Amino acid sequence: MRTWDIFCSVVDNFGDIGVCWRLSRQLSSELGQSVRLLVDDLASFHRLCSDVDPARQSQRICGVEIRHWNRALEVQPAEIVIEGFGARLPDAYIISMTMRQPHPVWINLEYLSAEPWVEGCHGLPSPHTSLPLVKYFFFPGFTSATGGLLMESGLTQARDAFQRDPAALAAFWRSLDLAPPDDKVLSISLFCYDNCALPALVEAWSIHSRSVVCIVPDGKVLGHLSHIVGRPIVVGNGIKLGRLAIYAVPFLELDQYDRLLWACDFNFVRGEDSFVRAQLAARPLVWQAYPQSGGAHLPKTFAFLQRYTDALDASARPAVCALFDAWSRESADIGKHWSALRSHREMLAAHASKWAAHLGCGGNLAVKLAEFCENRLK
């Protein structure tokens, strides 16, 4: 067993803490590691995990020691130090790392990308400019030459059992205060950044050939949706617009959000963690990458699409690519691309299952990370 410090700085969203918490839980509960998770924003963490008490400096949940990372933080470095997404470690902590023998293995856990260059950069060392420390870049990814993806054990079984169990599904919908959608209704979850294509998408859903129910966890998008439909949409209520019903639900706990992805026919996701979880949900998805200036997020989107559609029947490929493209570029043409998908629905559902099964081929991130660090500590 090794000791780990995982530093997480919550920037302006939930992906950083979502990933760091998932990783911490898995290292502790499945790999028996001693994990300390240092988080600078416990209030955001609380939204994903209600057991977290934002007022406490130190607490233990699921075997993980959680510390509030504030100015007062004084801790001795662990054997393995993870910098989640470039979270800048305190200077005093870095100095203490030089005093520990052997020096801790220092990892920068990077953002996920399907781009091919990731394979060449994964695992590269970066010696500190003035101290006898080396930082390694650890890249999540989709191939065995990368760090793989976070996947807790038992995930597939839990997901399959849930998706095959009408009683579990019905109980889940009822837990959201919603009636379980019948087979004729297309259920969609929506989690996205501001997107100028949203009005056109809402319109397409409102005239869809089947009734559509769209579930929206609490967030900024509710304001945009309210503006589009001209009525306030707040948590706990819903509105109807033609064939579309929109329901706002609370921001769900991490594991409940998984269930939402498992329960819906189609998921709109964003960023990094919801994107991976939607793939693991074995349901068709549309992804909005974290928008970057100058469209730097677009190559990320296309690199993923290339992998995702590679094994998809050629007849459905253009429709999927066009929909991703329209959503990523925030195009008002999205409605026609949404409609074009209709004839491929069954094929897409089957493909989503195959893709989810294939995701394991790149390896399990927590296991690979632990091996990587162990090899450097020996």
Task: List the catalytic residues.
Answer: 16, 272
The reply on whether position 9 binds ligand TRH by CB under 6 A is no
Can you tell me the distance from the alpha carbon of 187 to that of 206, in angstroms, rounded to the nearest whole number? 13
The C-alpha atoms of residue 216 and residue 123 are separated, in whole angstroms, by 38
CB 337, CB 322: distance < 8 Å? yes
The one-letter amino acid code at 116 reads P
Q: Got the DSSP string for 325-374?
A: HHHHTT-TTHHHHHHHTGGGHHHHHHHHHHHHHHGGGG-BHHHHHHHHHH
82 residue type, one letter: I
Q: Is 272 in the site for ligand TRH (CB under 6 A)?
A: yes
Radius of gyration of the chain (CA): 21
Nearer Cβ to ligand TRH (285/319): 285
Position among 181, 271, 335, 363 found at the interface with ligand TRH (CB under 6 A): 271
Is there binding between residue 18 and ligand TRH (CB under 6 A)? yes
- What residues does 270 pair with on adjacent strands? 288
Asked whether position 363 contacts ligand TRH by CB under 6 A, the answer is no
- Binding map of ligand TRH across residues 199-238, x = CB under 6 A, - = no contact: ------------------x---------------------
Residues, the chain, total?
A: 378
Interface region with ligand TRH, contact rule CB under 6 A, candidates 91-99, 249-257, 318-326, 345-353: 249-257
| Beta carbons within 8 Å of 71's beta carbon, 6+ residues apart | none
CB of 21 to ligand TRH, least distance (A): 8
How is residue 155 written in tokens? 């995930």
Q: How far is the CB of 175 from ligand TRH (least distance, A)?
A: 13
Segment interacting with ligand TRH, rule: CB under 6 A, options 119-127, 156-164, 266-274, 357-365? 266-274
Burial of residue 345 (CB within 10 Å: 0-12, 13-18, 19+) is middle
Nearer to ligand TRH, 54 or 242 (CB): 54
Contact flag: residue 247 with ligand TRH (CB under 6 A):
no
Selected from 111, 136, 137, 162, the binder of ligand TRH by CB under 6 A is: 111
Closest residue by Cα to residue 145 from 312, 361, 314, 342 = 361
Which amino acid type is present at position 343? S
Q: How many residues bind ligand TRH (CB under 6 A)?
A: 22
Query: Residue 138's beta-bridge partner residues?
Result: 109
Judged by CB under 6 A, the residue of 37, 39, 42, 48 near ligand TRH is: 48
Q: Which segment (96-104, 199-207, 272-280, 297-305) binds ligand TRH by CB under 6 A?
A: 272-280
Residue 270 makes contact with ligand TRH by CB under 6 A: yes
Cα separation, 345 vs 15, in Å, equals 29
Q: Kindly tell me which of 114 and 133 has the beta carbon lying closer to ligand TRH.
A: 114
> Binding residue for ligand TRH (CB under 6 A) from 7, 142, 173, 191?
191
Strand-pair partners of 9: none
Residue with tokens 């760091």: 20
Stretch touching ligand TRH by CB under 6 A, among 7-15, 149-157, 174-182, 222-230: 7-15
What residues line the site for ligand TRH (CB under 6 A)? 11-16, 18, 48, 111, 191, 217, 251-252, 254, 257, 270-275, 290
